[in-house]
Amino acid sequence: MRVFLTGATGFIGSHVIPELLDRGHQVLGLTRSDAGAKQLEAAGVEVHRGDLEQPETLASGAALADAVIHCAFDHNFVTFFENTKKDERNIAAMGEALEGTQKPILITSGVGIGTPLNGGPATEDVLNPRHANPRIATELAGAALIARRIDVRTIRLPQVHDTTKAGLITPLIAEARRAGAIAYLGNGQTRWSAAHVIDVAKLYVLALERGEPGARYNASVEEGVTARTIAEAIGAGTGLPVRSVAADEVERYFGWMAPFAGLDMTASNAWTRERLGWEPKGPDLLADLAAMTHATPADI
The tens digit of pLDDT for each residue in 90-130 reads: 999 999 999 999 999 999 999 989 999 888 999 999 998 77
* Res 130: pLDDT: 74
Residue 253 phi/psi, 5-degree rounding, is -95, -25
Rg of the chain over all Cα atoms, to the nearest angstrom: 19
Q: How confident is the model at residue 191 (pLDDT cuts 50, 70, 90)?
A: very high
Q: At residue 39, does pLDDT exceed 70?
A: yes
Average pLDDT estimate for 273-293:
96
**pTM, entire model:** 0.95
Average pLDDT estimate for 196-222:
98
Angle between helices 227-238 and 169-179 (to 10 degrees): 60
Instruction: List all residues 6 or more positions away from 262 whose beta carbon is below 8 Å from its beta carbon.
Output: 185, 186, 190, 247, 250
Q: For 132, which DSSP code?
A: S
Give, for 229, the enclosing helix (H) or strand (E): helix 227-238
Q: Which of 54, 53, 59, 65 is nearest to 20 (CA)?
A: 65
Q: How confident is the model at residue 133 (pLDDT cuts 50, 70, 90)?
A: confident
Q: How confident is the model at residue 131 (pLDDT cuts 50, 70, 90)?
A: confident
* Res 79: pLDDT: 81
| Residue 217, strand partner residues | 155
Average pLDDT estimate for 65-94:
92
Distances 282 to 122, 163, 198 between C-alpha atoms, Å: 21, 12, 7
Q: How confident is the model at residue 295 (pLDDT cuts 50, 70, 90)?
A: low
Of these ranges, 73-77, 151-155, 170-174, the one predicted with the greatest mean pLDDT is 151-155
